[in-house]
Every structure is written in C-alpha cells, then in structure tokens.
A and B are shown apart, each in its own frame.
Chain A
Amino acid sequence: MSTRTHTESLTVPRRMRRRSSPNRPAWEGPPTVLGQTGKSVALILVALAVLFPLYTVVLTSVSSNATVNAAGGMVVVPGEITFSAYRQILSGGIVTRSVVVSVIITAVGTILSTVVSILAAYGLSRPNSLFHRTILFVFLITMFFGAGMIPMYLLVSGLGLIDSLWALILPGAVSAFNVLILRSFFMGINPSITEAARIDGAGDWRILWKIVLPMSGAVIAVVALFYGVGYFNSFFNAMLYINDNAKWPLQLVLRSYVLQGVTLPGSGAGQVNVETGAVTGLPVKMAIMVLALVPILLVYPFVQRHFTKGVIFGAIKG
C-alpha cells in the first residue's frame, strides 16, 4: 500500500479509512495492517516480558510460606495471601526514620548535583573557550580512574564527615557522565539563537538562564532523574561512613533484611523473631524489591511529562 499524502487521506471516505487514532498526525498517513500488528505484537511481547516477572515478584511477596514452599520458589498461581512480609519490614525499628533520611539526602543531593552539573555543562559548551580541553579532561579522567575504598574513607574521615549526611552527598555529587550528557545537549542548541542574544548584549549567565535552560527541560529532567535515582538507591557509602544507625538511609536498612534470619549460636535473642504466621526468606526478599520500586513509581510520571511527544519543540519558528 502506498503512502498517501496527508491531503489525500482527508478526502477518503471515513468508513474506508483504516482505523487510526485521533492523535495520529496527519502527515503520517493511515496505518498499515502489517505496521499495526507488527507494532502491537512487539509491544505486547515487551510488556509481557516485564509484567510477568513483576507479577510473580509481587505475588510472591504477599504469599505465605506454605504457598511459596508448595510452588517451589516464586509463586505463579495465587495461593494463600498474607501481608506479613510488609508488616514485618515496615514495623522494623528504624524504617520510618530511614525514609526521612533518604528523602532528605535525595532532595538535597539532586538539587545540588543538577545545578552544579548544569553550570559545568554550559561552561564546557564552547570548545574555543579558555582551558576548555583541560577542564574537559578533568571530567573525563574521573570516568576512567577511581579511588580505592580505603583512600576514600581516609579522605571523608579527614574532612570530618564521618557520620554526617554530607558524606552521602558530596563524594558522588558530580557525575562526569551526566555533565557530558548536558553538555552535548547544550552544544546542540541552534547557535543562531544564542548569537542573536549575544548581539543584543546578553552575557553568558543571562543566556544560560533565559535561553538555554527553558529549552532544556527534557534533558534536565532526565539528568535530575538519574541523579535522584542514584542518591536514593545508594547504600554503600552509608554503610561505610555512617555509624549512627539513626542516620541510615532506607536502602541500607532494607538490604539488611536480605539475609534475615541468620541467627547465631546460643543466642536466645534469635528466638524472638518469629511470630505465628510470620514469613521469612523469599516473600521478605520480594517484598523488599517491591518496596524498592515504590519511590520510582511515584516520581517517574512527573519526569515522563517532560518528554511526552510534542511538549517541547521549536522555541522559535523561522
């Protein structure tokens, strides 16, 4: 079937036109059978590939021990449902406080990192500028050479940041990768726009603030998302630098459940962990995974808005 031009499709009688969604832009022409089925099949497969395991994870997390044992592992057919795993986790001593800690770190860290990265990216967006290559290399090198765990610890300790939440923010505050992303984006902005502003007398700060930023919503949202996810999911730094359990972030607390139930010889304290109907092992591990998804499920829709089709395009026409 040949592609019709958009004018032609408008004159084809309605009942003869293939069912096409009202959102379909006119220039796309009517959908083809092959196209639509092909796409649908592909998308359904993709969705299933993700949804099916997700379904088993969620189901296992609310299954009782008996159901899990009967299923021999992850549960596919629903059996006995219990929310015991979630209850156990969420009623743990320091979970609620750790959520607060995590939120604070993520919020402060994301803002700091995004702002610093935007500034750096713009500062690196003119290849002819002074020291451009040197500074670029300063960023690049950090992508290939890291520091050992012990030197990092000694540094953080030397700065007096042990047991401080800043130890969870500052060391990873700048990701050269994210800066490069932003930089690439900024460099791709049509230079005639910035040229025009410069001729009008605007300095770099003004250009950044008034022109570049408003046009960069999508990529800033993405970079902020990357940083946010990074901060929220990090636990290793907290393990290393935070001794006060009251300051632990959520991920670290949740991780401690992974090998739950390993009690020690002779300790009567191990006996107190079991209530009737409690679940251990697999349902708890799955519940932790589900809980790990909750924050991103809440945040992602907001970020997604920024790269919905057609929201931001063409700041200036002609």
Chain B
Amino acid sequence: MSTLGTRRAMARRTTAMIGAVGAAALVLSGCGSPDEQGTSVASSDGAIEETSLPAYVPIDAVEPDFPGVDGSPSGYLELPDPLVKGFDSPPGSGGEYTAMTPLWGTIPPTSGNQYLDAVSEAMGTTIDFQISDGNTYGDKLAAVLASPKDMPDWISIPSWNVPPRFGTGVDKLFEDLTPYLGGDAAKDYPYLANIPTDAWRACSWNGKLYGIPQPAEGNLGNWFFYRDDLLPDAELPTNADEMLEFVEQNTADGHYGTDDLWDIAQIMFAVPDKWAVGDDGKLVSKFETPEYRAALEWTATLFASGAVHPDAVAGDTSGAQQRFESGQVLVTGGGVGYYHEALTRMRATDPDFSIKLMPVFAADGGTPVLYKTPAAGICSYLKKTDDEAQVKELLTAANFMAAPFGTEEYQLLNYGVEGVHYTPGEGGVPQPTELAQTEIQPTYIFLVGAPIAIAKTTLPDYVENYTTWMAQNVEYLTEPPFFGQNITEPSQYASLGQPFEDLASDIARGRKTIDDLDKAIETWKSSGGEELRAFYQEIYDGAEQGD
C-alpha cells in the first residue's frame, strides 16, 4: 500500500519503471522506433552515405595472438609490455562537462574518486558523470530528452533504450557530427577512425552521423552455451533434431537439459529479425516466414519434451544465469558477452567451471545462415550546441577514451592507476585492489569504446575459444535487409508485433497451437501490417535503386 500519491499513481510509476527492465544480456537490434505520421516518406530515413561515414584507418597497437578475421574480434593472451603511449600530453583543453550513463551494478562515488580524477587528468578534460540505474534508464532518458534544458552535454543511449520516435527528435537535440567526423575529417581523431565503419553506421540517423559507437563484441549476438566441464566428451548437435535429443538426454536426476531457447531457436532457423526479401523483391514479414513457423514448432516440441527447467517455463528469466551456473540446466542461450561474465563470476569459487559456445549449426544441418547483429550496441550523443570548441573538445576526449588495447590509456581506463587500483601480477595481469572494486565501474565505456579486444588474460581458454568461434562464423554471416539503418516507424504500427510475443510464449508452452499463428498473421495484416509492409517496401526499393 503506497501512501505517497495514490495506489494508482504508484501503479503508473511502476508501469513506467518496469518499462525499462528490458535490459538483458541479449543485445538485440535497436531499430524500429515509431514515429509521427511522417510527411512524405523514407527520404529522411535513408541510410547514411559512405562518404559521410568516418574513414576507417585501423591501428594495431599490439600483434594479436588470435587475429580477427574480416571484422571478428582479435584475441590477446598477454598484456603487452611495454605499453604504447597514445598521447604525449593531455589532449584536452581543461573543460568540464556532464555526461549521463547507465549502470547495472555498484554505483561508484563520483567525487573524490581517484580513478575518475586520474583519467580526467590524463585526458585533459573532466567528465562529471551522472550515473543512472540501468534498470530504469529508459524512463530517465524519456524524461530528460523531453526537457532539453536539463540534458547533460553527453548522453549514452543503449540500443535497447532508444526512445521511440527518436529519429524525429535527434536533430533537434543532438549535434550532427558529420562535419566533424565524416570522411577524412575523422583522421583528426585517429582512435575514432580505428572504430569499424559498421559501428558508426549503427549510430547514424537520417543519413547523418550523430552517435559515437561502442563497438559490439562480434557480429553474432547470441547462441547456445553449454557446460563443457559437466559434459566433457559430449557429441554436440549439428542440427535441430539432434539439439532436441541432446537436451532430452541431459535431463535427469533433478537437473534439466535447458532453459528457454526460443530466442536462439530463431537464430538456428535463420528467422530474419524483421523482414526478409522474397524472390520477387517483395518484403515478407518475419512472422509470415516458414522459418518462424518452424522455429515455433521446434520450441513447442522442446517445451513439451520436459527438458526445459520449470522455472524457465514459468518465465523466470532473471534466474537463468543462476540455473546455468549452478548446473541445474546444462544448456542455455545467451548473449556472447555472457561467456566471460560467467567465467569471471564462477572461476573465483570454482576453478574447474567452464562453459563453451556450441559450434554454430543450421536447423536442417546444412550451411548456417547467420544474420549480422548491429556492430554497435551502445551509442552516445553530444548535446546540440553552437559552441564548436565544446564539440571538438568532447570529440578529443572521445578519441582518448577509444584508445585501443595495448596503449597506456587503455590500461588506465580499464584498470585504473597502478599501485592504487591494481598491482601487476604474473604475466603482467593486473590484480585489482579493494579500492578498485568501489571506484572502478563501467563509465567511460558507455560513451565510446575501442574496438573490442578479447583480452581477458585470466581466461586464456576463453580468449582462444571465443575468437576462434567468432572467426569460424564469419563465412556464414549475411546482412539482413535494412542492416545498420535506424528507421523510425509511424507510431500507429508500434504495437503490431506485440501479440506475437505473447503468442510465441503461448505456443511454446502448449497453451495455443500453430493454427493460432495463422489467425494472428491475418489479424496483423488487417490491422496495419500491410501498410507497414508498404512503408518499408518504399524504403527498400529506394535504397535498391540508389545502388
């Protein structure tokens, strides 16, 4: 019973609050924000021109032990010694700016924090962080963006928190960075030019550069994990049927084969994330594709087999990691970033703990088709201002923050000050001190990130397995339609996909059948689906012609 305001108001607040609890380990593509009845059409939603994107000038400060292949991340087994000095003197001009970032975890002190002070000094620019609770970041963003005078100078916006209709507001609120970074202008900021072009593309809107990216950990976002320490010589599945057998075999004695695998099932069956292009050049909605249907049926069979942990059947996603890490389930689906998270978490108490990503396979056992996931999961934006010097200084700061693996600046940003926040251990691996645990939390990383270097030196098996896995998948990757484009949909179609979410859950758990899918598709078509298709078709045809 709430006493402040009314129960109703509390419910309303809870409503808004829950709105942001979408932040999960899965980073899914972040486009599709609804829009007003836009005037004409796709012209302003067009993809960004190649010439507007920053030039890509890769830098390798250190030779990787596992070089990336065609954009897959590079792996390093050791910290380089000596570190490359990226800047001879602090590049900033002494300005002080506010930045808003999310955080899931212990909030560090923002004043008197030696880590932040050290970075500010080395950077020559001070960033005052306004750290917001990651769980409710979406609401905070919505409010702050509605009140421009309260906006900080620099705002981080994860792709899953992009406010609806963002495309219509982005040029009113944020600075267009194309003049500063487009094409060769990026060479003024070498470390920013080091960030892959696809990442910049993911942060562009309406044909212009707005966002500064944090590159994603690879171009495939999610897959199956399994406990290879508990299943050391297991014969891994190579198609969907074998997958079913695999989890069924491993369901016994109080532990279960798997958790909810619906999201990964869609990847396995190569379901497009929004649209597929038919042979006739016409767009087919994801829900209409045979792949979607097959994935649904497979998932229903999975649940019916009893191999899914009952808590997962009950929709408890928050306990999924716990179930997997405790051995209660032997297979789970997750974001690739989960790999090192789990290992870091569990190895401290259980040195034998080990998980692996299963080798990728297609549902039918043939050549897998993997749709690329966006190359940047988080973008940060600079508040619109007339002060050119401010923009330049912030970009200089971003340049500093994007210092790649192997530089002193990277070491500082990630580990803090030697002797204060860490002591060098064997192999040069930094051993964090107690102070580090309170003071160092992800902050700068939300504003911009260096290209991902898989360098968890305490987890050498991870480094090797992960980079190899990523490299092996490169040949199967394909770009989905509208890849890298941030398209703002008209608002009246915003909730069209919602019934399918509930339906998928119902069909998986046997409450409804696949026939209900047909009904849902008909409803979708008649309540706006066809119009939505036409909307996207126009964009697609326009882009095709532009080639």
Task: Check A-B contact in the complex, CB < 8 A.
Answer: yes
Q: Are A175 and B3 in contact (CB under 8 A)?
A: yes
Q: Are A248 and B432 in contact (CB under 8 A)?
A: no
Q: How far is the CB of B173 from chain A (nearest CB, A)?
A: 15
B406 on the A face (CB < 8 A): no
A/B interface sample: 12 pairs, CB < 8 A:
A92-B438, A94-B109, A143-B6, A150-B143, A172-B4, A172-B5, A173-B4, A226-B1, A229-B3, A239-B133, A239-B136, A267-B449
Q: Are A263 and B442 in contact (CB under 8 A)?
A: yes
How far, in whole Å, are A278 and B103 apart by their CA atoms in the complex?
Answer: 20
Q: Are A266 and B106 in contact (CB under 8 A)?
A: no
A149 on the B face (CB < 8 A): yes
Q: Which residues of A contact B319 (CB under 8 A)?
A: 73, 282
**A-B pairs, 7 with minimum CB distance:** A268-B414, A172-B4, A69-B326, A265-B217, A272-B432, A226-B3, A153-B143
Q: How far is the CB of B86 from chain A (nearest CB, A)?
A: 16
How far, in whole Å, are A79 and B458 apart by their CA atoms in the complex?
Answer: 29
Q: Which residues of A contact B4 (CB under 8 A)?
A: 172-173, 175, 227, 230-231, 234
Q: Are B105 and A268 in contact (CB under 8 A)?
A: no
B168 on the A face (CB < 8 A): no
Q: How far is the CB of A224 from chain B (nearest CB, A)?
A: 10
List B residues at the A interface (Cβ < 8 Å): 1-9, 12-14, 16-17, 23, 25, 98, 100, 103-111, 113, 129-136, 139-140, 142-144, 146-147, 149-150, 152, 214-217, 254, 311, 318-319, 321-322, 325-328, 336-337, 340-341, 344-346, 348-350, 377-378, 413-416, 421-422, 432, 434, 436-443, 445-446, 449-450, 452-456, 458
Within 8 Å by CB of B337, from A72, A257, A264, lies A264
Known: A149-B12, A263-B337. 13 other contacts (CB 8 A): A68-B322, A69-B325, A93-B438, A146-B9, A146-B12, A175-B6, A243-B100, A244-B130, A255-B135, A259-B105, A265-B217, A265-B452, A278-B349
Q: Are A268 and B345 in contact (CB under 8 A)?
A: no
How far, in whole Å, are A278 and B349 apart by their CA atoms in the complex?
Answer: 8
Q: Are B458 and A271 in contact (CB under 8 A)?
A: yes
How far, in whole Å, are A245 and B107 apart by their CA atoms in the complex?
Answer: 8
Q: Are B104 and A154 in contact (CB under 8 A)?
A: no
How far, in whole Å, are A65 and B440 apart by their CA atoms in the complex?
Answer: 24
A72 in contact with B254 given A65-B349, A175-B4 (CB within 8 Å): yes
Q: Are A236 and B17 in contact (CB under 8 A)?
A: yes
List A residues at the B interface (Cβ < 8 Å): 64-66, 68-70, 72-73, 88, 91-94, 142-144, 146-150, 153-154, 157, 162, 171-173, 175-178, 223, 226-227, 229-231, 234, 236, 239-240, 243-246, 248, 252-253, 255-278, 280-282
Q: Which residues of A contact B311 (CB under 8 A)?
A: 73
Q: How far is the CB of B239 from chain A (nearest CB, A)?
A: 29
Q: Which residues of B contact A268 (CB under 8 A)?
A: 414-415, 455-456
Q: How far is the CB of A237 from chain B (nearest CB, A)?
A: 8
Q: Are B143 and A271 in contact (CB under 8 A)?
A: no
A270 in contact with B341 given A243-B100, A277-B349 (CB within 8 Å): yes
Q: Are B438 and A261 in contact (CB under 8 A)?
A: no
Q: How far is the CB of A249 from chain B (nearest CB, A)?
A: 12
How far, in whole Å, are A66 and B349 apart by their CA atoms in the complex?
Answer: 8
Q: Which residues of A contact B422 (CB under 8 A)?
A: 272
Question: Chain B interface secondary structure, helix, strand, loop or mixed?
Answer: mixed
Within 8 Å by CB of B344, from A73, A236, A255, A274, lies A274
Q: Are B133 and A252 in contact (CB under 8 A)?
A: yes
Q: Are A91 and B133 in contact (CB under 8 A)?
A: no
Q: How far is the CB of B332 from chain A (nearest CB, A)?
A: 14
Q: Are B147 and A153 in contact (CB under 8 A)?
A: yes
Q: Are B322 and A267 in contact (CB under 8 A)?
A: no
In this complex, which of A142, A144, A172, A176 has the most chain B Cβ atoms within 10 angstroms of its Cβ? A172
Query: Which single residue of chain A is at the shortest CB-CB distance from B15?
Result: A149
Q: Which residues of A contact B136 (CB under 8 A)?
A: 236, 239
Q: How far is the CB of A247 from chain B (nearest CB, A)?
A: 11
Q: Which residues of A contact B142 (CB under 8 A)?
A: 149-150
Query: Which single residue of chain A is at the shortest CB-CB distance from B147?
Result: A157
Q: Which residues of A contact B130 (CB under 8 A)?
A: 243-245
Q: Which residues of A contact B23 (CB under 8 A)?
A: 259, 262
A275 in contact with B149 given A239-B133, A265-B337 (CB within 8 Å): no
Q: Are B438 and A91 in contact (CB under 8 A)?
A: yes
Q: How far is the CB of B34 from chain A (nearest CB, A)?
A: 16
Q: Which residues of B contact A144 (CB under 8 A)?
A: 6, 8
Q: Are A256 and B134 in contact (CB under 8 A)?
A: yes
A262 in contact with B322 given A234-B4, A277-B349 (CB within 8 Å): no
Within 8 Å by CB of A280, from B3, B345, B378, lies B345
How far, in whole Å, are A177 and B445 apart by their CA atoms in the complex?
Answer: 45
Q: Are A266 and B442 in contact (CB under 8 A)?
A: no
Q: How far is the CB of B94 from chain A (nearest CB, A)?
A: 22
A260 in contact with B436 given A172-B4, A227-B3, A229-B3 (CB within 8 Å): no
Q: Are A66 and B217 in contact (CB under 8 A)?
A: no
How far, in whole Å, are A230 and B326 apart by their CA atoms in the complex?
Answer: 37
A142 in contact with B6 given A69-B327, A262-B134 (CB within 8 Å): yes
How far, in whole Å, are A267 and B446 apart by their CA atoms in the complex?
Answer: 10
Q: How far is the CB of B327 from chain A (nearest CB, A)?
A: 7
How far, in whole Å, are A267 and B135 apart by their CA atoms in the complex?
Answer: 19
Within 8 Å by CB of A92, from B25, B106, B415, B440, lies B106
Q: How far is the CB of A60 from chain B (nearest CB, A)?
A: 11
Q: Are B9 and A230 in contact (CB under 8 A)?
A: no
In this complex, which of A65, A240, A265 has the most chain B Cβ atoms within 10 angstroms of its Cβ? A265
In this complex, which of A69, A157, A270, A275 has the most chain B Cβ atoms within 10 angstroms of its Cβ? A270
Q: Are A236 and B325 in contact (CB under 8 A)?
A: no
